[in-house]
Amino acid sequence: MTRSKWAAAALTAMLCALVCAVCLIAAACGDPVWDISADKDSDVKAELVTRGGGCTLRVSGHGEMKDWASPDEVPWKDKADRIDRIEIAEGVRSVGANAFFATRVRSVLLPQSVVRAGSGFIAADAEIFAYSDAIEYGGDFANVLLYRETPPETKDRFWQQDKTKGDIFSDPAELLPAEGGYWRFVGTNAVKWEATKVLFVGNSFTYRNGAVEYSSGVPGIFDRIAEDLGYCVETYAVTGPGWYLKNHAKGTDACGKQIEKLLNAVDDFDFVILQEHSLNPIQNYDDFLGGVRAMQEKIEATQTHARIVLYETWGSPTSARDLKTTVPEMEEALRTAYENAAAACGGLTVSYVGKAFTDVYLHEDSIYLWDTDNRHQGYTGAYLSACVHVGTILGGDVRNTAFEGEAQYHAPTLPAETYATLRNSAYNIVFGGESEAA
């Protein structure tokens, strides 16, 4: 061996020795790791991670965790009074008896893989969050709560005068939230999933989206976009072709009867969206305002915290031609009428769907928002409407949604850039940004 090769080999040996020494020091002074597998078929480890004010005990691996006869037998017993957080990774199938009983932890999330938790695995009064209520517990725990990272399913109901048979519900109990419910974490805080209840009231400008119905209408698209963004929304709609708000406000009216049934059955609607007959706000403003006020009186008499939102509709090629004006001018007149009505009724919110239509109409020649009658919304227009409502009502950033259409309705396939443009326009109209298309 040459001197240079010998020197290189010696240096390598020294480096290896140094690395080994560092590892030994880390093992002696760092965060300890224990094998807590219950059997040879399991590979479960616990690691104690020291933080500024306490310790996190991380359990990971696959299979069963061993049980301990008492809290004094767990390997982390000497540091149990400093452990204030437990993290159990997916793959662990059981939590051992007495594992965390002596720790400071009073809240733990069991992953979906866990099927059993031993007796005394945690204090009896601790909050246990679990994905399933089928876990076998080896003792009595007072606070076992169901956990979900995604919104739970809700009981959406869309009633349409010319298509729906029967009433929007048969028993008021159907409208009540499920007992127990689901929980999630916002940061480190446990928060119960509470559905935002939204009622759409309108006509074909609310439920229609093309000569063929490609979805459950604007309310349905609104609901799916909202849930895709992580909101828990329960959406209702009462609509009739050609209906006016003044008709919806009458208890003797076909639609009005369903609205009264809903509003009298429960007092937990968060938002009610009112859409007037498309031309009434500019052809008979007083009649429109009277309809808004009649609906407002009905809503406020039964709902203690519902916010009323006025659904500003759009200018259209057919109606603009009949009125001898332009599409943008027609929409501007509608916008003014809706804003005036909102102010006259004490400062109601306006959802500027029509303004978003005008934005796309002026800046995107390749996107056509109307149906073949050049008046009703097509699928693109319905999608844009729903995006505006999600932003206005929930404050949601619709630019982040991946939802495009409900497959069961055979929604048309639109180019990705079309969806991006519609979302961007809705976002900018709601939150005051400049259109990227401008």
Taking Cα atoms as reference points, which of 338, 282, 279 lies closest to residue 311?
Answer: 338
Domain of 142?
33-147
Supply the CATH number for residue 296's domain.
Answer: 3.40.50.1110
State whether 262 and 397 are in the same domain: yes
Rounded-to-integer distance, Cα 104 and Cα 81, Å: 6
Residues in the chain with pLDDT < 50?
A: 1-29, 435-438
State whether 101 and 249 are in the same domain: no
Q: What is the DSSP letter of 339?
A: H
Instruction: Please report the pLDDT score of residue 394 as a whole number.
Output: 98
State whether 198 and 135 are in the same domain: no
State whether 273 and 405 are in the same domain: yes
Rounded-to-integer distance, Cα 291 and Cα 361, Å: 29
Give me the count of residues in the chain: 438
Rounded-to-integer distance, Cα 207 and Cα 215, Å: 9
The answer to whether residue 3 is domain-embedded is no
CA distances from 22 to 9, 19, 48, 162, 428 (A): 20, 5, 19, 78, 56
The answer to whether residue 188 is domain-embedded is no
Contacts of 253 (CB under 8 A, 6+ apart): 247
The answer to whether residue 198 is domain-embedded is yes
State whether 406 and 323 are in the same domain: yes
The answer to whether residue 213 is domain-embedded is yes
State whether 161 and 278 are in the same domain: yes
Tokens found for residue 418: 């079309």
87-111 burial string, b = 16+ CB within 10 Å, else e?
ebeebbbbbbbbbbbbbebebbbbb
The answer to whether residue 44 is domain-embedded is yes
| 209 contacts 379 by C-beta, under 8 angstroms | yes
Instruction: Please report the pLDDT score of residue 214 as a whole number.
Output: 61
> Tens digit of pLDDT for each residue in 257-269?
999 999 999 999 9
Instruction: Please report the pLDDT score of residue 21 as a whole number.
Output: 39
State whether 89 and 140 are in the same domain: yes
Taking Cα atoms as reference points, which of 374, 168, 154 lies closest to residue 265?
Answer: 168
From first CA to last CA, the distance across the chain in angstroms is 75
The answer to whether residue 227 is domain-embedded is yes
Rounded-to-integer distance, Cα 62 and Cα 46, Å: 12
| 312 contacts 337 by C-beta, under 8 angstroms | no
Total-model pTM: 0.82
The answer to whether residue 202 is domain-embedded is yes
> Tens digit of pLDDT for each residue in 42-77?
999 999 999 887 899 999 999 999 999 999 999 999
State whether 250 and 272 are in the same domain: yes
Domain count, the chain: 2
Mark out the alpha helices in 284-400 (DSSP H runs): 285-302, 317-322, 327-344, 353-363, 379-389
Instruction: Please report the pLDDT score of residue 177 as a whole number.
Output: 81
Taking Cα atoms as reference points, which of 166, 161, 122 lies closest to residue 144?
Answer: 122
State whether 161 and 143 are in the same domain: no
Of all helices (H) and strands (E), which one includes residue 10?
helix 3-29
The answer to whether residue 112 is domain-embedded is yes
State whether 174 and 287 are in the same domain: yes
Rounded-to-integer distance, Cα 227 and Cα 124, Å: 35
Tokens found for residue 26: 């880390």
State whether 66 and 202 are in the same domain: no
| 125 contacts 143 by C-beta, under 8 angstroms | yes
State whether 101 and 162 are in the same domain: no
Q: DSSP 3-state helix, strand, coil percentages of the chain (rounded to 5)? A: 40, 20, 40
